Every structure is written in structure tokens, then in C-alpha cells.
Amino acid sequence: MTEITQADRDAAARAWAEDNDEPLDCHICEQIRAGYGDNSLDVIRFARHRKYGYDQGYYDGRQFDRMEERAAIVAWLRGFATNKTDELANILEAGEGI
């Protein structure tokens, strides 16, 4: 199983809030950030994506730096083709929320 980091929880909370038009300090977002949602598919997806990026860099004989990892996450989000994921991708691409 992929280890879930606080960054994964934070990203999942932000995505949940945006998808549900809730503020980032809502009760559910706080629960996700506290780790209560670690078994949820959203948190696991963020963790797996982060892990894949690191593993791919390792197998290619190079290390991902922060900009490459951010670009990989943005590309992954844009693959969903929804307004909410595009907004989140724009935020990450601009370096906000990191």
C-alpha cells in the first residue's frame, strides 16, 4: 500500500472542497486533513500519483524535482477535463497552495 502523506491529504481536501463548493475550513476538509479519509479513493489517488512520480524518476535513473513533479500532477489533473480539476491544475501550475 502507498504511504499517505499530509500533502496528499491537503490536496484531497482542497479537491473535495472545490468539487462541493465548500470552504477549505469545512468540517469534512478538516477530517480529510486529520487523516480520517485515508481510506477514501480521493486520498489514495493523490498518494499513488505522488508515489508513481517518484518511482518513475527512480527507474529512469533520475530524480524528479519539485517543478517536474508539479508538472506531472498538473498534466494528470488536466486529463479529467472538468472545470474543477482545471481550476486546481491552474492553482498548482501557478505555484499557489504549495
- Domain membership of residue 98 (yes or no) is no
- The total of structural domains in the chain comes to 1
The SS3 call for residue 51 is helix
Q: What is the pLDDT along the chain (98 residues), one digit of tens a residue?
A: 568 888 888 888 888 888 888 898 899 889 988 998 788 877 888 788 777 665 554 444 455 556 677 777 888 887 776 777 778 887 777 765 55
- Domain membership of residue 73 (yes or no) is yes
- Domain membership of residue 31 (yes or no) is yes
- Domain membership of residue 1 (yes or no) is no
Q: Output the pLDDT for position 27.
A: 92
Q: Which domain holds residue 35?
A: 6-93
Q: Could you tell me which of 53, 54, 47 has the C-alpha nearest to residue 32?
A: 47
Give pairs for 75-84: CB < 8 Å, separation 24+: 76/49, 84/15, 84/18, 84/19
- What distance in Å separates the CA atoms of residue 10 and residue 92, rounded to the nearest whole number? 13
Q: Output the pLDDT for position 86.
A: 79
List pLDDT tens digits, range 27-47: 988 998 899 878 887 788 878
User: Cell 491552474 maps to which residue?
Assistant: 90
Q: Output the pLDDT for position 54.
A: 55
- What distance in Å separates the CA atoms of residue 61 and residue 38, rounded to the nearest whole number? 31
Q: Output the pLDDT for position 30.
A: 92
